[in-house]
Amino acid sequence: MIEYISGILIILSALIVLVASIGIVRFNNLYGRMHVVTKVSSFAVLILLIALNLYSLSIVVLLKTVVIFHVLIFLSPIAAHVTAKVAQWLYSELPKSDKKTKEL
């Protein structure tokens, strides 16, 4: 039974990443795309780590996944901030999306 719950959580995480990838294409600038990537990646990894913990039922795996999640939670906003600063430095104004992304 636990294997089925873990499988459902893995499929849910994959669907969340799929919806996020569609959202990345739909947003018209770098800052909106970064917002989608940082929020959704943390949530999808959290669901995957929960599925891993349910499947393994081990304290060692639980501790490792907690450390992985905390590192992700702390480093994801920092990476997004650095990327935004570099984009602000490179582009004086926001880059516009092309016609192809607006048709989606």
CB atoms within 10 A of CB 97: 15
Give the SS3 label for residue 87: helix
Nearest 5°: phi and psi at 72?
-65, -45
Number of domains within the chain:
1
Region 34-52: mean pLDDT is 89
CA atoms within 13 A on the CB side of 53: 16
- pTM for the predicted model, two decimal places: 0.73
Domain that holds residue 88: 2-103
The pLDDT score that the predictor gives to residue 48 is 93
Whose CA is closest to 42, among 9, 77, 12, 11? 77
Where does 1-104 have alpha helices with state H? Answer: 2-26, 30-56, 59-90, 99-103
The confidence band for 23, taking pLDDT boundaries of 50, 70 and 90, is confident
Region 25-42: mean pLDDT is 84
